């Protein structure tokens, strides 16, 4: 998992409340058994005018010119500004996969659905909760100033505006540790690989017949 320390990025505004996971990555794309390739289908039903299916070439499709991510001023955005209850709906982990693979590193909103919130941390995506009034002010600034960027400093737990103003945010210490070190659940386990190998060796020495059972 990619580490998250300090990230500066262009901000894209998703000016809708209750954006659910089926909007983030529609159900037909969940057929894939891979963990990659979801970025082109992020917000698929809003992003394109035609219906999307797995395997379609994005270059052959009809983009919706009115959708925020298709507007030139937000091309390359890596910080998503959202309204309350972002990521509600079904518990598909594909939603943070799609956001991450599109290029987003952080999402700022007044609130998130619990499962989406947890899944985001496990996939290297930083969800930041700020007061609704603060988020509303950020929306006003994004709309007013093309090329609006924010710097997210996870170590210091602050968002830094272009004028130097800082906005503090909270993050649970263990989640912060995992993001700063790029550790997902597998990475956390592999920190103890030497102890695991030693345990397995000791177990097989005491019960050698288990080796035959494992091979068969």
- The secondary structure of the chain as a DSSP string is ----SEEEEEEEEE--SS-BHHHHS-GGGGG--SSS--GGGTTHHHHBSSPP-TT--GGGS-B-TTSGGGSGGGTT--EEEE-SSBTBSS--THHHHHHHHHT--EEEES-B-HHHHHHHHHTT-EEEE--HHHHHHHHHHHHHSTT-EEEEETTTTEEE-TTS-EEE----HHHHHHHHHT--HHHHHHTTHHHHHHHHHHHHHH-THHHHHHH-
Q: Supply the pLDDT for residue 35.
A: 84
Asked if residue 214 has pLDDT above 90, the reply is no
Close Cβ partners of 158 (under 8 Å, ≥ 6 residues apart): 166, 167, 168, 169
Q: What is the rounded average pLDDT for all residues in the chain?
A: 91
% residues pLDDT > 70 (the chain): 90
Higher per-residue pLDDT: 204 or 8 = 8
23 contacts 120 by C-beta, under 8 angstroms = no
Per-residue pLDDT tens for 54-101? 989 999 999 999 999 999 999 999 999 999 999 999 888 999 999 999
* 6-26 average pLDDT score: 97
Give bridge partners of residue 9 from the DSSP assignment.
150
Q: What are phi and psi of 95, to 5 degrees?
A: -60, -55
What is the pLDDT confidence band of residue 216, given thresholds at 50, 70 and 90?
Answer: very low
Beta strands 79-82 and 126-129 are unpaired
Nearest Cα to 19, choosing from 43, 36, 54?
A: 43
Per-residue pLDDT tens for 145-184? 999 999 999 999 999 999 999 999 999 999 999 999 998 7
CATH 3.20.19.10 fits 6-183, yes or no: yes
Higher per-residue pLDDT: 208 or 103 = 103
| pTM, rounded to two decimals | 0.88
User: Dihedral of CA 148/151/157/163: which sign?
Assistant: negative
Q: Supply the pLDDT for residue 201.
A: 67
Asked if residue 1 has pLDDT above 80, the reply is yes
* 123-142 average pLDDT score: 98
What is the pLDDT confidence band of residue 105, given thresholds at 50, 70 and 90?
Answer: very high
Q: Supply the pLDDT for residue 155.
A: 97
CA dist 65 to 17, 70, 72, 151, 170, Å? 21, 6, 10, 28, 36
Pair of tokens at residue 86: 């972002």
What Rg value do the Cα atoms of the chain yield, rounded?
Answer: 21
Sequence ranges of the domains in the chain = 6-183, 184-216
Pair of tokens at residue 176: 């912060």
Q: How far apart are CA 91 and CA 11, in angstroms?
A: 26
Give bridge partners of residue 20 from the DSSP assignment.
88
Q: Supply the pLDDT for residue 76.
A: 97
What is the pLDDT confidence band of residue 135, given thresholds at 50, 70 and 90?
Answer: very high
Q: Supply the pLDDT for residue 210.
A: 65
């Amino acid at each position: 998992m990619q580490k998250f320390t300090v990230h500066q990025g262009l901000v894209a505004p998703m000016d809708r409340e209750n954006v659910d996971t089926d909007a983030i990555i529609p159900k037909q794309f969940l057929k894939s058994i891979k963990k990659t390739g979801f970025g082109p289908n992020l917000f698929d039903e809003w992003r394109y005018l035609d219906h999307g299916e797995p395997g379609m070439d994005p270059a052959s499709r009809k983009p919706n010119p009115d959708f925020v991510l298709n507007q030139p001023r937000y091309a390359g955005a890596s910080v998503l500004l959202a309204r309350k209850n972002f990521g509600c709906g079904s518990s598909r982990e594909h939603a943070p996969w799609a956001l991450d693979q599109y290029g987003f590193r952080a999402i700022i909103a007044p609130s998130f659905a619990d499962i989406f919130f947890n899944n985001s941390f496990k996939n290297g995506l930083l969800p930041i909760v700020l007061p609704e009034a603060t988020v509303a002010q950020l929306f006003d600034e994004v709309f007013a100033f093309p090329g609006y960027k924010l710097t997210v400093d996870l170590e210091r737990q602050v968002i830094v505006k272009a004028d130097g103003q800082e906005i503090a945010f909270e993050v649970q210490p263990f989640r912060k540790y995992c993001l700063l070190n790029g550790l997902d659940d597998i990475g956390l386990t592999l920190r103890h690989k030497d102890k695991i190998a030693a345990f397995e060796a000791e177990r097989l020495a005491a019960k050698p017949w288990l080796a035959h059972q494992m091979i068969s």
